[in-house]
């Protein structure tokens, strides 16, 4: 897989990044760096390498004896290298790369880089300007630091998974890796860019410690402060933004499709009420004192559902689009590329 030709007008042109990460959070972060102009050198071990090489293989991938589309997407534009970091030759090769690099990203458990003789102190001595970013589930220190985990574990411990699902049922797994992508990919990008800016200004690199669980908790602000305001944690499907308010939720149409209603502000709720021909509902809104999950809120939610269920998705979509009141269709994955927002 050849790297893209460098583009001088991209913001990170001229930066060199060493990528030791696997699977999703780190590789997607460094792919963004490639898209912004950086040169990324992806280092894999001589054996199996990155597990996404064989994850979600399509029939065409198998027939062509090639890596999965997922691996190709995550690593597009990177220079791929195989280095045995457990060998002295491999260690020296990486140190040589680091001396000429701006940043290094790794996703091993805490202590692995030290055992390889490639910990922060060693790399910092080799290149004082280097920014080193470590992405882990639980951070470099603490009782969980050396535990294994995946996205499901991180969002469970951060209090997110327990709020996903119906009121009286089991938690429902989101088909979007919240901790991996927000707590890992995006947090790592923010830390790396801040570190690189600091190194540019001061000449000193730094160690960036990304704990995916910690990042999810830090960003779980709505539910935390809703619990503080109400005096107790919100139950699943009963918060302001999780189904407890009529103005913000998912509604089924007559043909079994769904609308996503995000009329959180009163002005949008008023427009929605006009579309469904119920202007008498306008004043029944959280901003005017309606408490999420109250009897009035749940009753109104049921009434709105009954109205939405009388017509198909195709009937409602143009009406709500004309009203511009934060109501959109819930699209299937195969519909997304054909939708005007995507292709326009």
**Catalytic residue ranges:** 150, 180
Question: 284: which 2 tokens?
Answer: 């029944």
Q: How far is CA 128 from CA 10, 101, 122, 256, 258, in A?
A: 25, 11, 10, 59, 54
335 Cβ contact partners less than 8 Å away, ≥ 6 residues apart: none
Q: How far is CA 5 from CA 45, 72, 78, 81, 313, in A?
A: 25, 17, 11, 18, 45
How far is Cα 157 from Cα 154, in angstroms, rounded to an integer?
5
Which residue's entry shows tokens 């049921």? 302
220: phi then psi, degrees, rounded to nearest 5: -85, 50
Question: 195: which 2 tokens?
Answer: 């570190």
CA nearest 298: which of 247, 222, 262, 226? 247
How far is Cα 279 from Cα 216, in angstroms, rounded to an integer?
39
């Amino acid at each position: 897989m050849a790297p893209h030709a460098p583009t001088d007008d991209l913001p990170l042109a001229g930066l060199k990044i060493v990528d030791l990460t696997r699977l999703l959070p780190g590789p997607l972060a460094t792919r963004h760096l490639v898209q912004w102009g950086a040169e990324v050198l992806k280092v894999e071990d001589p054996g199996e390498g990155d597990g996404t090489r064989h994850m979600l293989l399509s029939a065409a991938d198998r027939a062509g004896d090639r890596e999965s589309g997922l691996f190709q997407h995550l690593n597009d534009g990177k220079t791929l290298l195989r280095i045995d970091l457990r060998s002295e030759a491999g260690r020296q090769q990486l140190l040589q790369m680091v001396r000429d690099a701006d940043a290094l990203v790794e996703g091993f458990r805490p202590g692995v880089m030290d055992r390889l003789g490639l910990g922060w102190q060693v790399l910092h001595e080799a290149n004082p300007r280097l920014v080193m970013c470590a992405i882990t589930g639980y951070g470099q220190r603490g009782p969980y630091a050396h535990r294994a985990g995946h996205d499901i574990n991180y969002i469970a411990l951060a209090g997110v998974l327990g709020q996903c699902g119906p009121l009286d049922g089991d938690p429902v797994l989101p088909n979007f890796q919240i901790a991996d992508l927000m707590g890992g990919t995006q947090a790592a990008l923010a830390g790396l860019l801040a570190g690189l800016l600091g190194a540019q200004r001061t000449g000193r690199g730094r160690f960036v410690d990304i704990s995916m669980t910690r990042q999810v908790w830090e960003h779980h602000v709505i539910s935390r402060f809703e619990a503080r305001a109400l005096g107790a944690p919100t139950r699943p499907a009963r918060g302001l933004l999780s189904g407890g308010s009529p103005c913000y939720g998912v509604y089924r149409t007559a043909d079994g499709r769904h609308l996503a209603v995000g009329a959180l502000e009163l002005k949008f709720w008023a427009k929605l009420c006009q579309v469904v021909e119920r202007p008498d509902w306008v004043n029944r809104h959280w901003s005017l004192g309606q408490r999420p999950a109250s009897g009035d809120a749940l009753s109104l939610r049921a009434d709105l559902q009954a109205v939405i269920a009388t017509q198909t998705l195709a009937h409602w979509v143009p009406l709500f689009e004309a009203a511009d009141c934060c109501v959109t269709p819930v699209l299937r994955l195969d519909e997304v590329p054909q939708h005007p927002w995507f292709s326009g």
